[in-house]
Structure 1
């Protein structure tokens, strides 16, 4: 993509025309809106990641609680491999659905 001033490199005198100035101002406004949109998109991904991390922590807390109950009451031990696989599947599906690349 060319810099908007490079377009008028061979016709610098056109930069003084009001219509060209209006066009350049419009381009600048669109660039600002694009930057804002990219920021909002990134911010939304941060919120998605935060939510995903909270869910993982919640899952870890549940496993810790289950382990404590096992030790206290002699229950069957948690299946950590299945839990890890479920957490990994959850994270990868959330990333795929929200186009987050790890």
Structure 2
């Protein structure tokens, strides 16, 4: 981003004008707001990604538990294909909602 004062490099006398000073102050405020907005936007995506990862781990733990119960007690084996499809669908839907492009 160009330094605002560089715009007036050939007309330094304009920097003393009250309107120009107001404009420069306003531009600096907008730049701060843009930086803050970008940070909040990134942070929200980070939180969404962390939440997704937690959910995926929870799903993996559940399928491991089913596998252990199958081996130990002879219960029905886990349906890995369905589990993988559900996790994939969950990730894709959540990414779409959060505007996270993979």
TM-score, structure 1 as length reference: 0.89
- Segments of structure 2 that go 5 or more residues without pairing to the other structure are none
TM-score, structure 2 as length reference: 0.89
1:2 and 1:68 mapped to 2: Cα distance? 61
Q: Does 1:39 align with 2:74?
A: no
Q: Does 1:56 align with 2:50?
A: no
* Cα deviation code 1:16-67 (max 9, x no counterpart): 2122012101110111011101100110111111111100000000001000
Measured after TM superposition, the shift of residue 6 of structure 1 is 5.0
1:78 and 1:97 mapped to 2: Cα distance? 29
Local SS of the residue matching 1:26 = helix
Local SS of the residue matching 1:56 = helix
Q: Does 1:100 align with 2:100?
A: yes
Match of 1:17 in 2: 17
2:46 and 2:21 mapped to 1: Cα distance? 38
2:40 and 2:46 mapped to 1: Cα distance? 10
Superposed structure 1 runs of 4+ greater than 6 Å apart: none
2:79 and 2:48 mapped to 1: Cα distance? 28
Q: Does 1:74 align with 2:83?
A: no
State the aligned residue count. Answer: 102
